[in-house]
Chain A
Amino acid sequence: MLLLAALLVPLAAQQAAEKEVLKLQLPKPMFIGTPTNIKSPNLEVITGKSRPPFMVPVGTKLLSLKKPVRSSDMQPVIGELDMITDGEKEGGDGYFVELGPGKQWVQVDLGKPYALQAILVWHYHSQARVYRDVIVQLSDDKDFLKGVQTIFNNDHDNTSGLGIGKDKEYIEVAEGRLIDPKGAKARFVRFYSNGNTTNDLNHYVEIEVYGTPIS
C-alpha cells in the first residue's frame, strides 16, 4: 500500500506540473452586480464572485483568433461575423454581431482538428440577460451531420430539438462563459442560441477556443 502511494504521489505531482492556469484577457464589466433578482433551479446560482482559475495542459494556445466563422444568418444586420474571432471582447456598441430571431448558430473553423481544452463565449455583456437554449457542439464535419459531440446544452425543454440539456442557464457577464471540452478532438465548434430574455435576437461579442495539437 505504501509502495503504491509512493508511486502515485510523484505521478500526480507530474500531472499537476503539466497543467497551467489558462491566461485570459477579460473585457471591462459593463454593469455592476445583478440588477435583476433572478432565482430558478434552471439558472446557475449567482455568486457575484469571479470564476476560479481554470487549469489547462501546458502549451495550450488560442486557436480561434482570426479563424473563419459561418452562421445560420450570414447577413447580420449589425456587425460582421469575423468580429466573433477578432479578439475584441468589449461589451459596448460596435463589438458585437447580431443574428436574426429564433434559433441561430455560428461555427468556428479551426483549420484542422485539435485537442480542445477550453472554450469561452461572450454573447452580450452590457446588460444582465440570459440567452436561451445555448448548445455547443464539436465535429470534424463542417455540416455537423456526423461525429457530433455535444459538450454544453442548457436547452432544458428541447426547444431546439437537439436533445434535452442538463446544463444550467446563466446570466451573461464580462468574464464570458467558460465551457470545458475535456480535451475532445474536433476541427469545427458550433454554438446555438435561441433569443434571450430581452429580445428574440442572438448576439456574439467573441468566441475563444483553446487547445493543443493532436500528437
Chain B
Amino acid sequence: MSRAVFGGVLIAALAGALALRLAAADLRPMHHDEANQAVKFGALLEHGDYHYDRNDHHGPTLYYLTLPVAWTRGQATLASLDERTLRAVPAIFGAGLILLFLPLTRRFGRPAVAAAAILAALSPALTCFSRYYIQESLFAWFVIAFLIAAGRFAERPGPAPAVCAGAMAGLAYSTKETSVIALSAVVLAAVLARVTTRSADAPDDATAPRVSAGRRAAWVAAGVAAAIVVAFTFYSSFLKYPGGLFESIRAFGVYFDRGFGPGSHSQPFGYYARLLAYSSSGGLVWTEGLVLVLACAGMIASALRSPAIPSGFWGRYVSLYALIAFAGFSAIRYKTPWNLVPFYAGFVLMAGVGTAAIVRGVRPRAWRVLVILALVVAVSHLGLQNWRANFRYPADPRNPYVYAQTVPDFLRLTQRVMDVAALHPDRSAMLVKVVAGPYEQWPLPWYLRRMTRVGYWTRADRAGRLADAPVVIASQDQADAVAAALGGDYVQEFYGLRPDVLLAIFIERPSWDRFLASRQPR
C-alpha cells in the first residue's frame, strides 16, 4: 500500500468516524447516566465547582474536558448547554482512536493500520458509545495511548515513553475506576509479550542502546510520578480539594462491592462475547462477528509470527492486552454494554492485523481479489449495522447496545411541559413538581433545565400542596396518591420513561385548555 493511498484511507476513516459520531447528536434521548453527568458538568461550568464523588459519576476528566467545547460554543450555564456540546467530547475521543493507530504503522504495516482504522470508524459498538455523554471513549483512548507508550518503553526504554505512559495512565485513572483492570492488563501483556518474544522480533532492539537497570528503574519512577501528578491534579479539582486522590482510592471499596456483589446489572462471564458475536430481537439481527473473526486471525498470525506483521512483539502484546482485558472485564459480575469499549478497541486493532495477514496470505492473485471483495461486502454490512444502531434504532430496546435507555416517548412528556409553560403566565418560572423515586426522576433535571422552579420529591405526602403546581409529574407508584391529592381539576396523561417504566403527568385544567386551544386547526 502506497503512502498516498494509506493517507487517503486514514483521512477518509477519520472523517467518516467523526461524521458517524457527531451527526444528529441529539437524536437519542439522554440516558439517565448522561443526564446525571450533564447536570454535574453544569455545576462545574456555572460555578467552577467539581468535587469527586467516590460513590458515583466516575472520574473528573470528562467534565473538565467538556469545558473547552462549551466555551467554544459560547455556553456558560447549564440551561444554555445542549446535547451537541456534551456528546462532542466522547465523539472526538472516539474518532481520535484512529489517530492512535498511526504510531503502530511501522509495527503492523500500513494495510493493517488502514484496515483497523476503517473497522474502528464503522464499528457499531465503538460508534454507539462515542455518542453517549459517558466516560468510555475517553477511557479507551487513554488506555490505548498508555498501551502504545508502554509498548514503546518495553521496546526501547527512555524517559519520553515512560513519562508519556505515566501521563496516559494518570488520565485513564482520572476517567474511570475500572482503569485498574485495563492498565493492569497492559502491564501484564507487556511483560508476557516481552519475555516470549525474541529480541530480533522487536524492530527497535537492534538500534536500542543498552540501558542499566538503575536508569530503567528511574524512568519507571518518572512515569509513576507523572501518573500521580496527573491523577492528583484532576482528582483534587486542580488543587481545590487535595483529598480527592485519596477519595479515589477509597472508591475501590465501593466499586469492588458493586462489581462483584449481586445486583440488577449482574451478567454471566460470556455477556460481552455474546453481545458482540450475535444477537437477535424483534426482527433485527446484530453481529460484530466480522471484527471478532478478523481479530482472531490477527492474534493467530501474531502468535505464529506471520511475515505480514513486521513486529512479533507488538502483535503478541496487543493480542494479550485485548484478551487479558476482555477476561478481566468479563470476570466482573457488574456489566453494562459500554464497558466493552476499552478491550474491544484492542480487538479492532488486531482485526486490522488479521485483515492484512489474510489478504497477504491468500494466493493466487484472483483469490486475493475475491477475498478483498468479500471483506468489502462484510465491512459494508458493518456500516449498515452502524447506521441502524445509531440512526434508525438508537433508543430501541432491540438494539443490543441500548441499555436502560430513555425511550423517545419521554421527549413527548418534556415537550408537553414546555408547551404548557409557554402558554402559562409564569412561562419558564411555572412551578413543576416531580414526585418519583431517584431512578424515575432522571433524566428530567436535564430536560427541564430551562425551567427555574422545578422541585423533586420521592413521595406525594412530602411534596407540600401539590395543587399549587400547574404541572405535576409522578412515577407509577406515586400516581394514585398524586391524583387523589389533586382532585378532578387536572388532566392526566402518561408517557414512557424506559421500557416498561411510565411516568404520569398531571396538568391543571386551565393550562390544558389553553394548550389544547393552541393545537386547534386555525
Report which A residues bind B (CB closer than 8 A): 35-43, 77-79, 93-94, 96, 98, 101, 126, 128, 132, 157-159, 161, 163-164, 195-201
Contacts and interface: CB of A to CB of B under 8 A. Distances in A.
Interface in B384-428: 388, 392-393, 395-397, 407-409, 412
User: Which 6 pairs across A and B sit closest by C-beta, in order of nearness?
Assistant: A197-B496, A200-B408, A158-B519, A78-B283, A40-B494, A93-B283
A37 B476 contact: yes
Contact of A36 (B396, B491, B500): B500
A197 B502 contact: yes
A201 B396 contact: yes
Contacts of B408: 101, 195, 199-200
A198 B496 contact: yes
Interface of B is mostly: mixed
Contacts of B212: none
Contacts of B495: 197
B395 A98 contact: no
Contacts of A93: 280-283
A79 B519 CA distance: 34
Contacts of A158: 516, 519-521
Given A37-B476, A158-B519, A196 B283 contact: no
Nearest to A197: B496
Which of A43, A93, A199 gathers most chain B CB within 10 Å? A199
Nearest to B501: A36
Q: How large is the interface on B (under 10, 10 to 19, 20 to 34, 35 or more residues)?
A: 20 to 34
A199 B281 CA distance: 14
B518 to A, nearest CB: 9
Interface string B481-517: 0000000000111111001111010000000000110
A132 to B, nearest CB: 8
A55 B426 CA distance: 53
Contacts of A201: 396
Contacts of B521: 158, 161, 163
Interface of A is mostly: loop
Contact of B397 (A41, A42, A43, A199): A199
Contacts of A38: 476, 494, 502
B284 interface: yes
Interface in B470-486: 476, 479-480
Interface of B: 280-284, 388, 392-393, 395-397, 407-409, 412, 476, 479-480, 491-496, 499-502, 504, 515-516, 519-521
Contacts, number: 79
A159 B516 CA distance: 10
Given A197-B494, A198-B397, A200-B408, 18 more contacts: A35-B500, A37-B476, A40-B493, A40-B494, A41-B492, A77-B388, A78-B284, A93-B280, A101-B408, A128-B500, A132-B409, A132-B412, A158-B520, A164-B519, A197-B409, A197-B495, A198-B396, A201-B396
B434 to A, nearest CB: 18
B500 A199 contact: no
22 contacts: A37-B476, A38-B476, A38-B494, A40-B492, A41-B492, A42-B492, A42-B493, A96-B283, A98-B283, A128-B500, A158-B516, A158-B520, A158-B521, A161-B521, A164-B520, A196-B409, A197-B495, A198-B496, A199-B395, A199-B407, A200-B408, A200-B409
Contacts of B392: 77
Contacts of A132: 409, 412
Contacts of B493: 40, 42
Contacts of A159: 519
A164 B502 CA distance: 23
A94 B409 contact: no
A199 B520 contact: no
A98 B398 CA distance: 13
Nearest to B407: A198
Which of B282, B284, B393, B521 gathers most chain A CB within 10 Å? B282
Contacts of A126: 282
A164 B388 CA distance: 34
A198 to B, nearest CB: 6
Contacts of B492: 40-42
Which of A40, A77, A159, A163 gathers most chain B CB within 10 Å? A40
A110 to B, nearest CB: 28
A124 B492 CA distance: 25
Contacts of B393: 199
A197 B280 CA distance: 21
Contact of A40 (B397, B501, B504): B504
Contacts of A40: 492-494, 504
Nearest to A169: B494
A39 B516 CA distance: 21
B409 A195 contact: yes
Contacts of A43: 494
A110 B215 CA distance: 87
Contacts of B409: 132, 195-198, 200
Nearest to B497: A197
Contact of A79 (B281, B283, B476, B500): B283
Contact of B396 (A157, A163, A199): A199
Contacts of B281: 93
Contacts of B395: 199-200
A36 B515 contact: no
A79 B283 CA distance: 8
Contacts of B479: 39
Contacts of B499: 198
A163 B516 CA distance: 11
Nearest to A36: B500
Given A36-B502, A37-B476, A98-B283, A197 B407 contact: yes
A38 B282 CA distance: 23
Given A36-B476, A93-B283, A94-B283, A164 B516 contact: yes
Nearest to B499: A198
B407 A157 contact: no
Given A35-B500, A38-B494, A195-B409, A157 B282 contact: no
A210 B467 CA distance: 48
